[in-house]
Structure 1
Amino acid sequence: MIIGIGSDLCNIERIQNSLDRFGERFTNRVFTEVERAKAESRPFTRAGTYAKRFAAKEAFSKAVGTGFKRGVFMRDIGVVNQRSGAPTLALTGGAKERLDAMTPPGHAATVHLTMTDDFPFAQAFVIITSHPIEGASG
């Protein structure tokens, strides 16, 4: 069952402006170490890589219905890749707590993420599903 849907469209030029103006102060405040390493390894698409991840964070915050309040912070939402290469989100802190709180008892949540970019835009969609845990009551 779907328990949350969110999307975001991000302007890559806006992210480039933030990178130019604030540099590491911006990247350290918004992105996880894994995300920074991925973006910095892509010199020709650095801003687009950051923009897709920024959009993913925004999309998740919409999917859980909080935006960036009630303890949900950008650094608590990190884009990672599954073994298959497919992107998903690694959640910590308030983002994980919010997801856990909205997941029905006896269920586990799965975060589905897709991202794309076509200059000057980056886009992300997040769909959160829940499924019963085998053997769980509730």
Structure 2
Amino acid sequence: MILGLGSDLCNIDRIQASLDRFGARFENRVFTEVELAKAKRRPFTYAATLAKRFAAKEAFSKAVGTGFKRGVFMRDIGVVNAASGAPTLTLTGGAKARLDALVPHGMAARVHLTMTDDLPWAQAFVVIEAIPALPEGGRPE
């Protein structure tokens, strides 16, 4: 069952302007260390890499229905890559608590994320799905 859907379109030039104006203050307020490390490995597309992640955070906040209110903060939402290389989200603090509150008993959340960019735009979509939870021990019965 689908619990939430969110999308966001972010202007890469706007992220670059924030980087130019606020530098590390902006980076540390919005992005996780993992996200910043990934962007630093892409010096020619640094702002675009961060803009996609900014859009993913916005899309998640819409998918859980709060925006950045009720304890959901940007740094609590981190874009990471699964072993397959596919992007997904890691959640902490209020973002994790909000997601956990949406999931029905006996279910677990699966977060789907897709991101793209084409100068001057970065875009992200988040789908939150509820799936049957595995029993304790992690194996289906």
TM-score in same-fold range (> 0.5): yes
Displacement after TM superposition at 1:134 (Å)? 3.9
Quote the Cα distance in structure 2 between the aligned partners of 1:109 and 1:72: 17
Q: Alignment partner of 1:104: what SS?
A: coil
- Alignment gaps of 5+ in structure 1: none
Residue number in structure 1 paired with 2:139: none
- Alignment gaps of 5+ in structure 2: 137-141
Quote the Cα distance in structure 1 between the aligned partners of 2:108 and 2:68: 23
Moved over 4 A (4+): none
2:114 is the counterpart of 1:106: no
| CA-atom RMSD in angstroms | 0.9
Quote the Cα distance in structure 2 between the aligned partners of 1:78 and 1:40: 16
Residue number in structure 2 paired with 1:86: 86
Residue number in structure 1 paired with 2:58: 58
Quote the Cα distance in structure 1 between the aligned partners of 2:124 and 2:109: 19
Residue number in structure 1 paired with 2:70: 70
Displacement after TM superposition at 1:135 (Å)? 4.5
Quote the Cα distance in structure 2 between the aligned partners of 1:42 and 1:135: 41
Q: Closer, same or farther in 2 for the Cα pair 1:9/1:133, shift >3 Å?
A: same
- Counting matched residue pairs gives 136
2:25 is the counterpart of 1:29: no
Question: Once the two structures are aligned, what percentage of the paired residues are identical?
Answer: 77
